[in-house]
Amino acid sequence: MINEMLMLGNLNCPTCAAKLEKAAQALPGMKSARVVFGAGSLNVEYDPHILSQEKIRNLCRQMGVDVVAVVPGRNS
Amino acid sequence: MLFQWWQRNRDRVVIAISGGLIVGAWLLRPLGVAYYLWGMTLAAVIAGYGVAKEALQRLLAGQFSISLLVTIAAVGAAVIGEVWEAAAVTWLYVLGGFLEGLTLAHTRSALRGLVDLMPRVAKIKRGEELVTVSAYEVQPGDIVVVLPGESIPVDGKVVAGRASVDTSSLTGEPIPAEVAVDDQVLSGTICQGGYLEIEAERVGVDTTFSQLVYLVAEAQEQKPKVQRTLDAFAQWYTPAVIITAFLIYLWSQNVHLALTFLVIGCPGALVVAAPVAIVAGLGNSARRGILIKGGERLERIAKADVVAFDKTGTLTQGQPKVANVIGFAMDEERVLSLAAAAELRSEHHLAAAILAAAEEQQVEPAPADDWMIEAGLGVVARGPDGEILVGNRRLLHSRGIDLTPEQENQLLEREAAGETVAIVALNSKAIGLVGITDPIKPDAYGLVQALKRTGIKKTVMLTGDNPRAAQLVARELGIDEVRAGLLPEQKVEAIQDLQKSGHVVAMVGDGINDAPALATADVSIAMGTSGTRVAMEASDIALMGDRIGQVPTAIGISRRILSVVRQNVVFAVVTVLVLLAGVIMEVVHLGSGMAIHEASVLLVTLNGMRLLRTQQ
């Protein structure tokens, strides 16, 4: 499992945040996905065999959200 | 290129063109109503296109979004002939979203700033070669090279070179630290001048700085009670607004009124009320080396009315120093030299102070051999000069050595000054005294007064040290109550006592020795340095820079965060209620209601941004 925190550049409306969270959770291989609106981040835990950071970034792009930085977390 | 420019500036362009059209439509109205109608319609279409598109996308995804409410309202207004209202609603919605984006980005800048400081690359030594790799590829044991201006990518030990290191990103400490071989360095700190080779110990996500960023980010997720109440409220709030709007339509047959109600009912300010304040406050304090874990802790911190301190290492420097050497008919240098000789083999913490003083004053320890440690009493050594004793009264007693009344007086005088006194004797005769103190940290002065200003009612010192030394430090600092001579479990009992009498207790300690007391207290505040990581992980508040003077700042900022959250919640709720009442009484219309609604979101965000400002 890989843990990552994606810092989002333009997450301005709380509804978009909820929408992004739902869409991220629906990705195959995603174990958990949480959008922290205050911090403007998407915290994900996923199986690297099924899902990749690139795919998550693509999803963000599709939803019109910029990923400005990725902070790797502790892998388990 | 052009597409990217458009992506980045679309909001600005839309706001400018649509706004210009609205102004133009008003100005040209006297020339003909057609100009007005077409101008407003065009303005509404330009501003509303993006809104409607988003609303449609969301609707297809099965969501009833705010943009949908706005679109329905604008289209509805246009259908009933109110083009001005349609233009105003859409334009204000786009403008509001744009301004919120700007302020939100600013609010998050404190946390983003921390992320930006995270080291991205590392130069590691592979034989003679220097290879640049990602900071996350470094392995423990690798030798990392850091040049001036670069940030240190790992936690580790310096194996070559020396440099001054700016630790402010981690500790908030403005004065750079000088490091050399064998010193520990932490990731995220910046090498200013010099050159360092560091043996990596903790790398990548395990570094102290990575942990700090994670803990700060995680703290945002921890919701204080007030926010959880709000979230529960928001769940049934939006459906309630939709149903009410529909009922209003059924009851009044007034489309305009129902549409206005829908738009005004959007829960904008309520949703951002808490998060903006928390991210700004916690982010800002983290940048100053104060790590506050969020959530319910904020409420506990705000409720604390008693602060309990450990003494040694928390209020005092924790490194005993020789303050006075007194010789009885013998020069002080000789007394110190003999005392140092006896203490050479002792591991007692007072011995370290005596040896350090001898080294500092360039006094050579007298020759000695055959050391004997008398536990709880002192040390005895034998040398060419005879038998040397260094210890307390009981040691002298056990050897049948007495002090003259005059010597006894000098001893009492030193003790009254808060010193721990070692008596030095040579060949069964007292020859002098060595007074040792643990100096108070400079930034502990004014601490109690600052705490009282933040609303703390009582300060208590809990220490294992002797009552006299403890009393003296307490008096010097203005601490209200002293409990001295405590064992670690008695510190726990002391805190439980305070809690039983109805106090909410914050305990300040060093995170390792005081772990049980910290765990018992309602709020644990741990000092950094020695136990930085333990402190970070186990406490409610960690002072990364080990500065005791930041305790009032930490408590103060927690209280301010909470009070801003409460202000925002009250303000958001009141605004919505007033607007809804205004709509029902038909004094608030689509345009004006939307303006007030957007303004309330902005005000709430701006109020949260106040927490970004540095306050001591």
Residues in Cβ contact with B585 at an 8 Å cutoff, skipping those fewer than 6 apart = none
3-state secondary structure of B38: helix
Q: What is the DSSP string of B305-339?
A: -EEEEE-TTTTB-SS-EEEEEEESSS-HHHHHHHH
- For chains A and B, CB pairs below 8 A equal 74
Residues from A contacting B (CB-CB < 8 Å) are 5, 7, 9-15, 19, 34, 36-41, 43, 68-69, 71-75
Segments of chain B scoring below 70 in pLDDT: 1, 7, 61-65, 110, 221, 230-231, 233-235, 237-238, 266-268, 347, 349, 376, 511-513, 529-535, 614-616
Contacts of A7 in chain B (CB under 8 A): 112, 115
Burial letters for B5-30: b for 16+ Cβ neighbours within 10 Å, e otherwise? eeeeeebeebbeebbebbebbeeebe
What pLDDT was estimated at residue B345?
75
Q: Which two tokens stand for residue B247?
A: 């009922």
Cα(B591)–Cα(B570) distance, rounded to whole angstroms? Answer: 24
CATH of domain B321-437: 3.40.1110.10
Q: What is the mean pLDDT of residues A39-57?
A: 89
Q: Which CATH fold would you assign to the domain B303-317+441-548?
A: Rossmann fold (3.40.50)
pTM of the model: 0.72
The minimum CA-CA distance between B275 and chain A, rounded to whole Å, is 4
Q: Is the pLDDT of residue A39 over 80?
A: no
3-state secondary structure of B541: strand
Which of A1-15, A41-55, B255-269 is most confident?
A: A41-55
Q: Is the pLDDT of residue A3 over 90?
A: no
Residues in Cβ contact with B304 at an 8 Å cutoff, skipping those fewer than 6 apart = B456, B504, B505, B506, B522, B523, B555
Return the domain boundaries, chain B. Answer: 11-107, 121-203, 214-280+557-612, 303-317+441-548, 321-437
Contacts of A68 in chain B (CB under 8 A): 112
ipTM above 0.85, yes or no: no
Helix axis angle for B109-117 and B208-221, nearest 10°, is 160
Residue type, B236: W
Helix axis angle for B66-79 and B590-609, nearest 10°, is 150
Return the domain boundaries, chain A. Answer: 2-42+50-72
What pLDDT was estimated at residue B293?
84
- Asked whether the beta carbons of B544 and B188 are under 8 A apart, the reply is no
Q: Give Cα B260 to chain centroid, integer Å.
A: 43
Cα(B445)–Cα(B447) distance, rounded to whole angstroms? Answer: 5
Cα(B130)–Cα(B121) distance, rounded to whole angstroms? Answer: 13
DSSP-assigned letter for residue B613: S
How many helices (H) and strands (E) in chain B?
22, 20
Of A12, A68, A74, nearest to B104 by CB-CB distance is A12
Cα(B101)–Cα(B116) distance, rounded to whole angstroms? Answer: 20
H-assigned helices in B80-224? 83-107, 109-117, 168-171, 208-221
Contacts of A11 in chain B (CB under 8 A): 104
Q: What is the tens place of the pLDDT at every residue in B250-264? A: 988 888 788 888 777
Q: Give Cα A10 to chain centroid, integer Å.
A: 13
What pLDDT was estimated at residue B433?
85
Q: Which two tokens stand for residue A14?
A: 């709380």
Q: Which residue has the tokens 């919505």?
A: B576
**CATH number of A2-42+50-72: 3.40.50.300, 3.40.50.620, 2.130.10.10, 3.30.70.100?**
3.30.70.100
Q: Which CATH fold would you assign to the domain B121-203?
A: 2.70.150
- Asked whether the beta carbons of A1 and A31 are under 8 A apart, the reply is yes
What pLDDT was estimated at residue B505?
94
